[in-house]
Structure 1
Amino acid sequence: MSLAYATEMRVHQWTGDLLTVLLFSGLAAGGILSGISITPVRVALALPLVLLVPGYAFISSLFPEAPDDDGTGFGTLERLVLSIALSLALVAMIAYVANFTPYGITLLPITVGVVAWTVLFSLLGLLRRARLPGEKRYRPTAGAHLGGLTGLFTVQSRRPGETRGAFEPESGRHVLLNGFLVFSVLVLLVGGAYMAVAAPSLPNEEPHTEFYLLSENGEGELTSTDLPTDLSAGETAPITVAIENHEGERVTYTTVVYQQQVTLSDDGRTVESVDGSEELDRFETTVDADETDQVAYEAGPTADGDVYVWFLLYHGDVPDDPSPENADETTRLTFAD
């Protein structure tokens, strides 16, 4: 065997696991984001991506070295167990961050975040291993999984001062703890498999309608922060009534414009009394499923003083006495004297 060939084999030994993680991450991202619907393939892609590879890459970057001869350090079994626990925490963290992006907690940002994390720390792990002497670099060893697993449930005699492995039991109590650990990992794997299979078939969200008011700001953009509040009786200002239909079917909505003359507390936050109310207008809007309709409207109070102008949305028939209490959705403008 030539020196070059031997060197190539050694490189494959300490880089193979992380190169496999990188390759799998790319394949999983492509398969998941392309919307693949074949259940076994979806499970095979989603489970490792969520439950193993982000944690494994992170552990590899933190601990690039192989265990010492006395068992100090993380071997294959320890890395796998820690990888599963860390992966769950990391995916939860990525989902939390995704909540603050324009996409929200959806498939795209979570998949991209998990893959980006995995790629970054896999490359960092390879770099840190490369800087170690060859004999100190971690490399997966054949048979380590089964041998390490049986070692979780076997109490080995050790001389005083001898080092034990990270999960090597010292007593029957430690064997029970290791059994609980293995059981917990199996539960996580089964739960992850169920979600990988069932989650895509579950509805993305409960049927609902979003109802809100918008107005133009100084740049001509529609926003909910510049709604009119200082109009007098008889004055109006242009607003936009927005209806987002997430009911799963086409819906004809009725919007009732309803005015209340109120007495507010000194801080303007509490209604002390309702002094009069009347219906000002109503109109219908038909919105297709998963579509948004925006209706231009001139809004304003017809009385002086503290006035609420309510926009009451009904999905079906409007009751004889429409009010904020019986509407399906409500929003309002407040005009304070």
Structure 2
Amino acid sequence: MAVFSSLWRLLPRSVREVPADLVAVVGVVVATNLAVFAPVVRDTRLRVPLGLAFVLFVPGYAFVAALFPERGTRSVAGADGTNDGGEFETDPFRRRVLADPITDAGRVVLSVASSVAIVPLLGLAIHFSPVAIRLQSIAVVLSAVTVALAVVATVRRRSVPLESRFRTPYRRWVASARTALFDADSRAETALTVLAATTLVLAVGGVGYAVTAPQHGETFTEVSVLTDAGDGERTADVSPSSDGNGSESVIVTLENNERRTVSYAVVAVEQRIASDGDPDNATVLEQNELRRFEPRLAHGETWSHAHDVEPTLTGDAVRVAWLVYAGGDVPATPSLENADYSAHRWVNASTE
């Protein structure tokens, strides 16, 4: 204990004077980020309670604390020298009435309700930003906003006179909980309050889960082969640009929507197709491998690679295909049939 006290005194005074409830807010933010990013912690059950507190209550509490730095109860001293918060009053006969911007119960309700508004709005902001909506991006943005609100709340609370400054009424909360549990007259009211609070938490939890949880819908990888149309624009025109020597410049793009990090193998092959019948379903007469790439993409990440394609096969029906294998394992004979995804385009490889 003495060592802890000594270390505490080493901290700057501005840090030591941060209100305990706002220190707890920052502590939940730090613990939640450890549960999201730390390899060991994120596999434990701590993610569930921390995530619920982080999404359902903490951002809204910091927001309400910044809005209302004053105390939210009316304090009236009694003959025993204590007020209704259990705090000792120096003048037991002096009646002191404080400003009442918000009660303790109202502070809690507003904290939950504010979280309902803050979390979806931040998710919407991320959606319209270049960053993909993932658990990590939600955690980082929500953490930054919550810590910023806690800092504002600390500054505003310090600007309020000490006698009017909000302080967490632990004693009153404990007394209220004891009364609610053991007073028969208040049990029915307590049950209704708990039911209403549970309903509100479930509603907020649904909103928070919809924003922060990964969607387990269809998983796929989008493959495209584009050409540079000039002025920085890309097009899927089937007639790629050529340098006059048979070499064609293309841009291959992969977009990972597999809901996981994937190591890809992209194999570019040239194929001479039997000229009779439908060329899209015709027999491959000859195939040569041209290029191979091995990008590794996180979910939502896009990879683009520009390269030149110079077919060596000749004939009226020659195509270049980009065969994509999610997982990196390439069969001995790559083909459109055994590829996970593919894209191809026909090229002019005539000898004339």
- Structures share fold, TM-score greater than 0.5: yes
Match for residue 52 of structure 2?
Answer: 47
Match for residue 66 of structure 2?
Answer: 61
Mapped partners of 1:289, 1:282: distance in 2:
23
Match for residue 18 of structure 1?
Answer: 22
CA contact (8 A) 1:238 1:298 kept: yes
Structure 2 unmatched runs, 5+: 1-14, 75-96, 271-277, 298-302, 311-318, 326-330, 346-352
Displacement after TM superposition at 1:79 (Å) = 1.6
> Equivalent residue of 1:60, what SS?
helix
CA contact (8 A) 1:54 1:90 kept: yes
CA contact (8 A) 2:116 2:207 kept: no
Give the stretch that moved more between structures: 122-131 or 287-296: 287-296
Structure 1 unmatched runs, 5+: 1-10, 157-171, 258-275, 300-308
Displacement after TM superposition at 1:49 (Å) = 1.6
> Equivalent residue of 2:45, what SS?
helix
- TM-score between both structures, scaled by the size of structure 1: 0.56
CA contact (8 A) 1:241 1:297 kept: no
Match for residue 160 of structure 2?
Answer: 132
> Equivalent residue of 2:130, what SS?
coil
2:250 matches 1:239: yes
Mapped partners of 2:235, 2:209: distance in 1:
46
* Alpha carbons of structure 1 residues 103 and 41: separation in structure 2 relative to 1, 3 Å: same
> Equivalent residue of 2:69, what SS?
coil
Match for residue 143 of structure 1?
Answer: 172
Mapped partners of 1:56, 1:249: distance in 2:
39
Match for residue 161 of structure 1?
Answer: none
2:112 matches 1:103: no
Displacement after TM superposition at 1:207 (Å) = 3.4
CA contact (8 A) 1:287 1:293 kept: no
Match for residue 198 of structure 2?
Answer: 183
Mapped partners of 1:237, 1:193: distance in 2:
49
CA contact (8 A) 2:70 2:164 kept: yes
Residue by residue, what CA displacement relative to the aligned partner does 1:146-175 show, whole Å, maximum 9, x if unpaired? 627978xx9x9xxxxxxxxxxxxxxx9x99
Residue by residue, what CA displacement relative to the aligned partner does 1:97-136 show, whole Å, maximum 9, x if unpaired? 2223333111332112111111111111111111212221
Which of 234, 246, 251 does residue 225 from structure 1 map onto? 234
Mapped partners of 1:277, 1:22: distance in 2:
63
Displacement after TM superposition at 1:256 (Å) = 10
Mapped partners of 2:205, 2:157: distance in 1:
33
CA contact (8 A) 1:311 1:330 kept: yes
> Equivalent residue of 1:20, what SS?
helix
- What residue identity is the alignment partner of 1:207? T
Mapped partners of 2:30, 2:219: distance in 1:
34
Which of 148, 170, 180 does residue 120 from structure 1 map onto? 148
Percent identity between the two aligned chains? 24
What RMSD over aligned residues (CA atoms) do the two structures have, in Å? Answer: 5.7
CA contact (8 A) 2:321 2:344 kept: yes
CA contact (8 A) 1:14 1:137 kept: no
Match for residue 28 of structure 1?
Answer: 32
Displacement after TM superposition at 1:59 (Å) = 0.3
- What residue identity is the alignment partner of 1:22? V
CA contact (8 A) 2:240 2:248 kept: no
Displacement after TM superposition at 1:57 (Å) = 0.4
Mapped partners of 1:91, 1:215: distance in 2:
40
